[in-house]
Amino acid sequence: MRVAPPTAPAESAAQPEYNADWIRADPSLSWIRRLGPLLRHQRARIVIAVIAAILATGAGAIAPWIAGLAVDAAVTGFENDGSGSLWAFVIALVGLGLARGVFTYTYRYGLFAMGHRVEFQLRTLLFAHLSRLSFAFFDRVQTGEIISRSNSDIRSVQMYLAFAPIVSVQLLSFVVAIAVMAWISVPLTAITMLIMPAVYVLGQRLRRIMFPLSWIIQSRNAEVATVTHESVNGVRVVKAFAAEARQVDEMARAAQRLRWANLLQHNTRAHYTPVVENLPRLAMAMVLLLGGHLIIGGTLSVGNLATFYLYILLLQAPFRFIGMLFIFGQRAKASAERIFQVLDEPVLVADRPGAIDLPQSEGQSSGPGPSGMEVRFDDVRFTYGTETVGGVAGTASGECDAPLVFDGLNLHIGAGERVAVVGRTGCGKSTLARLLMRFYSLGSGTITVDGHDVNALTGDSLRRAVGLVPDEPFLFSASIHDNIAYARPDAARSDVVAAATAAQAHEFISELEDGYDTVVGERGYDLSGGQRQRIAIARAILADPAVLILDDATSSIDVAHEAKIHDALTELLAERTTIVIAHRLSTISLADRVILLDGGQVAADGTHAELMATEPRYVEVLAAGGDTSDPDRVAAAEGTTGSSSW
């Protein structure tokens, strides 16, 4: 699988394009090599930053040598005539300091700009890939896992990409310092180098310990994010069952596991980092001891010893950062692998090469909506969980022992026909809609719309033609106008109002303080269930699809408003193909024909009156919903349909 991320869009670009491979698909490569194509797009920033870093390092490496010359000049001048001019050395050191300041700003800004740019592109790429994954992925992966990988994991990679070159430049200063020190005194340099094997051994051990710890910490962060997300989104259920203390305990357990992992990591750092950082100080003590003897013996000048001492101080920066580099590197490696687990997830429901847009229906509707399209299910077999499972662990296994939802389903719905689909809970009514809209990959069989196999169509064109009003409507934290106009963001206010009026939502919207500009809370929970459903219906009406699926779309609406909505829908659904997933008689009344699902197949097909007279299972389904004993709903249904078959 090749991941196709966006090309480098402008900072303000809202819709990135996907026309280049920025992430290598081979999972056997190291994480940094997999990011290679992405980093190549930042090579100009990287090259400029590296050159500036080398110049800054050079300026810093020359300063101790000039300081040593200044010391020797001062000592010589004092011994000769008691004076000596140091202005040339002062000017040189000030100039080097200014140059180093400019170059340091250049490379640090460049590297962090590169890191944040990669962070932006990687986050955009990950989100784009998530948007292409099928519902099967989200069924088994916790939301907290996705949030953690989209935020903290990407941030860990960004920090390492910006920090690692800085440390690498510090290592360059280490090489320069060692070279100058060897030129001054080989014996003193040999003493200094005695610490190198110990630093290497400690660094390797720290690296082996930090990688699994970093993976655990990121996983614990995901657990905390999951508990937070579920507690906030499920706050009404939590409070309804007085389970606040239980959720707090669950958060405390997740936070305690995260605390344990973090403390273990910091305990490891506390053991290793001071040792790595202070090894140069041992070398400094030995250098001062031997250097003093060399000065007394006349084989080393005071200025040379001062230079040597300053270079040892210069060596401390790499030693100070090397421990952080190991820690950041292992955390970035663990985070990158978690990100790649998502990016390597196969796109099970993707447009095939050569996929075509669904042509508009040839006939023109005489009603307000478009002409309907023929829908056909031929020998369809499907089971949840049969999709190929990638690397991201989820709440469900990839192996399926569940029975078939559909076992050779055959169903034909003519263009412009209104069909109600009924059946017991779990019989596959909602699955029918999900497969038609290609939310899941089909096990076997074919589904066609106007004679076109849905797998041969582009997903966008299919979903523009097939609209869905779900049984649990989702509203964004935006204005009511924007929620209704979600499928048509450029829709005029008059069109939005017309759709809301048809859905019996205009009245309550007008009573709100800001009307259609009222911003609803998250998921629209500051509205009633019936109000949310009416806005969802208005959204589908405004989208104006040729095939409309109503998945128990009026279950939360009272009888009076439901009857009015049905009156409006009866006109709007004229010549539009409509699939009504129904649990109540009042909803079934919208249809001309009823399909009973049972055992993964069409168990019965006919009008409501025919099935009531001939199919006991149909009567049982209605009885289970309580509709046959509810005179108000039966009356509402009979009054809405206007059909003698009822």
The CATH number of the domain holding residue 586 is 3.40.50.300
| Nearest Cα residue to 169 out of 328, 323, 322, 329 | 322
Report the number of secondary-structure helices (H) and strands (E) in the chain. Answer: 23, 10
Higher-confidence position of 376 and 139: 376
Quote the mean pLDDT of the chain.
Answer: 76
- Residue 452: CB partners within 8 Å, gap ≥ 6? 356, 358, 359
pLDDT in tens, 239-281: 666 677 777 887 788 888 888 888 887 787 777 777 766 776 7
Query: Looking at residue 318, what is its pLDDT?
Result: 66
Q: Is residue 354 part of a domain?
A: no
**Exposed, middle or buried: residue 364 (CB in 10 Å: 0-12, 13-18, 19+)?**
exposed
Q: Is residue 596 part of a domain?
A: yes
Query: Looking at residue 392, what is its pLDDT?
Result: 52
- Residue 332 belongs to a domain with what CATH number? 1.20.1560.10
Query: Looking at residue 585, what is its pLDDT?
Result: 77
**pLDDT above 50 (res 368):** no
Q: Which of 162-166, 336-340, 460-464 is least confident?
A: 162-166
Q: Which of 32-36, 392-396, 489-493 is least confident?
A: 392-396
Residue 550 to residue 566: CA distance in whole angstroms: 12
Domain identity same for 606 and 565: yes
In the predicted model, what is the mean pLDDT of residues 430-458?
88
Q: Is residue 204 part of a domain?
A: yes
Q: Is residue 391 part of a domain?
A: no
**pLDDT above 90 (res 335):** no
Higher-confidence position of 256 and 21: 256
Higher-confidence position of 529 and 376: 376
**Exposed, middle or buried: residue 87 (CB in 10 Å: 0-12, 13-18, 19+)?**
exposed
Reported confidence tier of residue 626, pLDDT bands at 50, 70, 90: low
Helix-strand-coil percent breakdown of the chain, rounded to 5? 60, 10, 30
Reported confidence tier of residue 237, pLDDT bands at 50, 70, 90: low
| Nearest Cα residue to 388 out of 337, 428, 439, 443 | 443
**pLDDT above 70 (res 229):** no
pLDDT in tens, 556-587: 666 666 666 776 676 666 778 888 887 777 77
Containing 616, the helix (H) or strand (E) segment is helix 616-624
Domain identity same for 292 and 431: no
**Rounded to two decimals, what is the model's pTM?**
0.69
Residue 157 tokens read as 């990679």
Domain identity same for 137 and 273: yes
Domain identity same for 47 and 105: yes
Domain identity same for 176 and 238: yes
Q: Is 470 helix (H, G, I), strand (E, B) or coil?
A: coil
Domain identity same for 494 and 599: yes
**pLDDT above 60 (res 627):** no
**Tokens 């002409």, residue located:** 371
Please give the order of strands across the beta sheet that includes 593-598. 466-469, 547-551, 577-581, 418-423, 593-598, 601-606
Q: Which of 79-83, 166-170, 542-546, 613-617 is least confident?
A: 79-83
Q: Give the rounded distance of the alpha carbon of 370 from its chain centre.
A: 36
Domain identity same for 434 and 311: no
Domain identity same for 299 and 418: no
Task: Say if CB 56 and CB 100 are below 8 A apart.
Answer: yes
Domain identity same for 408 and 270: no
In the predicted model, what is the mean pLDDT of residues 203-208?
70
Task: Say if CB 491 and CB 485 are below 8 A apart.
Answer: yes
In the predicted model, what is the mean pLDDT of residues 420-446?
86
Q: Is residue 396 part of a domain?
A: no
Domain identity same for 311 and 441: no
Domain identity same for 100 and 148: yes
**What sign has the CA pseudo-torsion 612, 613, 616, 617?**
negative
Domain identity same for 312 and 421: no
Residue 71 tokens read as 């010391």
Q: Is residue 454 part of a domain?
A: yes
Residue 196 to residue 260: CA distance in whole angstroms: 33
Q: Quote the crossing angle between the two packed helices 493-502 and 559-572, to the nearest 10°.
A: 120
Higher-confidence position of 8 and 368: 368
Query: Looking at residue 14, what is its pLDDT?
Result: 36
Residue 296 to residue 339: CA distance in whole angstroms: 61
Residue 352 tokens read as 């095939």
Q: Is residue 355 part of a domain?
A: no
**pLDDT above 80 (res 479):** yes
Q: Is residue 2 part of a domain?
A: no
pLDDT in tens, 33-88: 888 888 888 888 888 988 898 888 888 778 778 877 777 777 676 555 555 567 78
User: Where in the sequence is the domain holding 587, given as residue range(s)?
Assistant: 375-386+403-641
Query: Looking at residue 481, what is its pLDDT?
Result: 92
Reported confidence tier of residue 378, pLDDT bands at 50, 70, 90: very high
Q: Give the rounded distance of the alpha carbon of 106 from its chain centre.
A: 32
Query: Looking at residue 236, what is its pLDDT?
Result: 56
In the predicted model, what is the mean pLDDT of residues 301-328?
72
Reported confidence tier of residue 536, pLDDT bands at 50, 70, 90: confident
Q: Length of the chain in residues, anyone?
A: 646
Q: Which of 324-333, 360-369, 512-521, 574-583 is least confident?
A: 360-369
Q: How many domains does the chain have?
A: 2
**Exposed, middle or buried: residue 50 (CB in 10 Å: 0-12, 13-18, 19+)?**
middle
